[in-house]
């Protein structure tokens, strides 16, 4: 099992550009999550999904969109990149809500 | 609202036990207590979790107070590799997971 994989590892965006951060898990987990982590800070939940076709907002959803068309994939979309979105983005998955979360290696995003 | 409180930082000498406290005074009966740690430049990794009774695994032990309003993560012999930020989290099947700032553990050789 590869676990949770994220692409790209690193990306530089210009203000106003768009991009999609990819996240895939091969553990057949129902729950998937997107977090962001600013330098020296803890993780903040952006969006999460409890199954294919179901998504919900976390603490900091503004400026992001998600979709969950399959169990395996949970892409995060940035429509109009802003410098405030410079962060490290982590995707995670768990079998059920109360179970262990498995994290991907992260995507480092720089918006200039 | 992280719903848990932890000290910002702690220090330990190498090869000594470390007790990392967490307060979760508003915990409900269905909340599990999870601990994760994040090594520098890596994603968080699972350490241990429990509901009511104490738990042990190869990484650590989790001691949960009888009233469940607090818990302690115990690293039996700290190594330099244990230097990380440790997060204590309350988790239910239906609730959003909120990570607080965690405890930054330094291990002194």
**Structure tokens, B81:** 């590799």
From CA A63, how far away is CA A19, in angstroms rounded? 12
> Distances from the Cα of A71 to the Cαs of A22, A27, A48, A96, in angstroms?
13, 9, 13, 13
Best of B43, B44, B45, B47 to disrupt the A interface (most A CBs within 10 Å) is B43
Q: In the structure, what pLDDT confidence band is assigned to residue B1 with cuts at 50, 70 and 90?
A: low
Mean pLDDT, rounded, of chain A: 94
> In this predicted structure, what is the pLDDT of residue A48?
93
Average pLDDT, consecutive stretches of 10 residues, N- to C-terminus, chain A (112 residues): 92 97 96 92 91 92 96 96 97 86 95 96
pLDDT digits (tens, 9 = 90+) for B48-88: 999 988 999 998 999 999 999 999 999 999 999 999 999 99
Whether A45 and B97 lie within 8 Å, measured CB to CB: yes
Are the C-beta atoms of residues A89 and A103 closer than 8 Å to each other?
A: no
Q: Return the pLDDT at B93.
A: 58
Q: Is B100 in the A-facing interface, judged by CB distances under 8 Å?
A: yes
Cα(A103)–Cα(B89) distance, rounded to whole angstroms? Answer: 15
- Detail the DSSP E strand segments found in B1-109: 9-13, 18-23, 32-38, 45-50, 55-56, 61-64, 70-75, 84-91, 103-108
Per cent of chain B over pLDDT 70 is 93
């Amino acid at each position: 099992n590869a676990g949770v994989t994220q692409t790209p590892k690193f990306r530089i965006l210009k203000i106003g550009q768009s991009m999609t951060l990819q996240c895939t898990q091969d553990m057949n987990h129902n729950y998937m999550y997107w977090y962001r982590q600013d330098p020296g800070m803890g993780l903040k939940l952006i969006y999460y999904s409890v199954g294919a076709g179901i998504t919900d907002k976390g603490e900091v959803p503004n400026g992001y969109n998600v979709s969950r068309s399959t169990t395996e994939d949970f892409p995060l979309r940035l429509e109009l990149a802003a410098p405030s979105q410079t962060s490290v983005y982590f995707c995670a998955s768990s079998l059920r809500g109360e179970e262990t979360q498995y994290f991907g290696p992260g995507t480092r995003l720089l918006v200039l | 609202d992280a719903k848990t409180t932890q000290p910002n930082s702690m220090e330990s000498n190498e090869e000594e036990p470390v007790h990392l406290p967490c307060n979760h005074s508003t915990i409900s009966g269905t909340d599990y207590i999870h601990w994760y740690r994040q090594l520098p430049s890596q994603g968080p990794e699972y350490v241990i979790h429990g509901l009511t009774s104490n738990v042990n695994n190869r990484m650590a032990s989790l001691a949960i107070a009888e009233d469940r309003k607090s818990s302690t993560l115990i690293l039996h012999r700290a190594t330099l590799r244990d230097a990380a930020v440790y997060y204590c989290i309350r988790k239910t099947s239906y609730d959003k997971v909120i990570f607080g700032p965690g405890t930054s553990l330094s291990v002194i050789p």
